[in-house]
Structure 1
Amino acid sequence: MEEGAKDARLFQAAIRELCTGKDYPLHLAALYGQVDLVREMLSQNGELARELNSLGQSPLHLASARGHVKVVKEILSKDADACFIRDRDGMIPLHAAAIKGRVEVLEVLVKANKATVFLLTETGEPILHLCANKNKFEALMKLVDLVEDAHFLNLRDQDALQEK
């Protein structure tokens, strides 16, 4: 089954389960890559991009972690600062994409605002450390290519190769 059709079916099932209260409709649309629904909802109310679900995630976190590039672009076109929203664990959407190895999403997020690359996690880890610790070396190399200053240190002044 084609991934888009599968996601559409999963999205419809998720809407039926909305009564569980874990996600709002925009979160579900972002999670399942439904860019047309995301566009429509954000055109009605752009503030929805900043809402956190019961798990403390924004729609951009969900789309970034799942690798839905079109949804990520759509959210950023309505709210460019959504890339700075921290989830309940203190991670931004760029961190969510990095630990899942979503290279295309990383590129979109960094191009939207390069400053996000230098934001540490709540535990003081730079993004290159996240990539190295999760064995996401393709993501790590993409970030190094996108940012001229690849000297990312954690709070202990260790680079990604020194950690552990």
Structure 2
Amino acid sequence: MTGDRPPTRHVVVMGVSGAGKTTVARGISELTGLRFAEADEFHSESNVARMRSGVPLDDAARWPWLCDLAGWMAARHAEGVSTVLACSALKRSYRDVLRQGPPNVEFVHLAGAAELIRDRMGRRAGHYMPASLLDSQRAILEHLDPDESGVVLDVALSPDDLVVAAVTGLGLPLGAAVSGR
């Protein structure tokens, strides 16, 4: 921390594809001023091609991507900028890599019924992640452990309600009160 600059906050909105991570993370950003990033935009072309063809990523394909995300958050922290990242962060080990970036990372886990999420995935347009990979994501999903900072929210709530519940649950300040827009 430099001078009297307030500490940064770093939030990862996590869950399986189709849970609403991007929508909720953007909403948190709009309400709080945290800088938004979409983890999907950090994937290599080969990772995107693999997922587009219906092949799930293995850990070897994920590690460089997760390190890039941790690096992005660490760089924003160094600038005094708070962040909110939409990222699956399905396993504890993936979240551990993300925590190697800035000094403190909090999580918003969007959880819910597979049927509801599968229905949402079937209705969205322009995303490379096919609904057929939902089962593989659910199979590796590890819920937040008690020692992980965060909240778990039900995807059955409306996007606006999820945003408010996340901001309230994490005690995030509204607007420019969070450092570094």
Normalized against structure 1, the TM-score is what? 0.29
Higher helix share: 1
Larger relative strand fraction: 2
TM-score, normalised by the number of residues in structure 2: 0.27
Compare relative contact order (CA 8 Å, sep 6+) and give the higher one, 1 or 2: 2
